[in-house]
Chain A
Amino acid sequence: KAGVTQTPRYLIKTRGQQVTLSCSPISGHRSVSWYQQTPGQGLQFLFEYFSETQRNKGNFPGRFSGRQFSNSRSEMNVSTLELGDSALYLCASSSGTAPLVPQYFGPGTRLTVL
């Protein structure tokens, strides 16, 4: 069974630019959630999508957005990048049944904002 895949694995951007990250969940999983991991703040929940609908959202500014496609693949977009957006972005996939507990995380996308 293939795991959660994320692309790209590494990304370097400059302030003010925008970025799109992609996540493919485990086959059959309908829930995809996104997290930001930094040394200072730890792992923070961004949002969760289930069947193409955003089901829950964390406390991040509107510059962070996402979407999910009919095949459950998900993208996350960050606009007007700031230095503080440098982080490891993880997505996780779950079957989607309650409770919301991500089961399998991808390897992450390391975003560096210069």
Chain B
Amino acid sequence: QQQVKQSPQSLIVQKGGISIINCAYENTAFDYFPWYQQFPGKGPALLIAIRPDVSEKKEGRFTISFNKSAKQFSLHIMDSQPGDSATYFCAAVYGQNFVFGPGTRLSVLP
């Protein structure tokens, strides 16, 4: 129940396309869902986050969509750029419990 599933494992997108990464969870106690971006050789950095009382949150080209009934949430990267090539982790939080998804390696082709 503590697991967060993430798909796809890897993703290749053309420049200008939309990148979509999906996550799912089981434990309904989770009440905060952050996304992290990690470049090679660097630690993950908080990208965007959402609470379950909101169905969508947008920051620039990054949008989180949240489906509480399906216990799913996704990250959309609009107008994907080669500089977006990185590994993306979704996560779920409740109280002091923090669970990461396994990550998605995104490659944006020029």
Contact = CB atoms under 8 A, between A and B. Distances in A.
Nearest to B89: A43
A48 B100 CA distance: 15
A35 B99 CA distance: 11
A100 interface: yes
B95 A45 contact: no
Interface residues of A, number: 22
Overall SS of chain B's interface:
strand
A114 B93 CA distance: 35
Interface in A80-112: 90, 92, 99-108
Contacts of A106: 43
A103 B46 contact: yes
The listed residue with most B CB atoms (<10 A of its CB), out of A43, A100, A106, A107, is: A43
B7 to A, nearest CB: 13
A104 B46 contact: yes
A21 to B, nearest CB: 13
Given A42-B101, A42-B103, A45-B100, A108 B46 contact: no
Contacts of A27: none
Interface in B26-67: 31-32, 34, 36, 41-46, 49
A104 B95 contact: no
Contact of A44 (B41, B46, B93, B100): B100
A107 B43 contact: yes
A56 B99 CA distance: 12
Contacts of A104: 43, 45-46
B42 A107 contact: yes
B98 A45 contact: yes
Interface of B: 31-32, 34, 36, 41-46, 49, 89, 93-103
12 contacts: A42-B89, A42-B101, A42-B103, A43-B103, A45-B98, A45-B99, A90-B44, A99-B32, A101-B32, A101-B98, A104-B43, A105-B36
Interface of A: 4, 33, 35, 42-45, 48, 55-56, 90, 92, 99-108
Given A48-B96, A105-B45, A107-B42, 5 more contacts: A56-B98, A90-B43, A92-B43, A100-B97, A107-B43
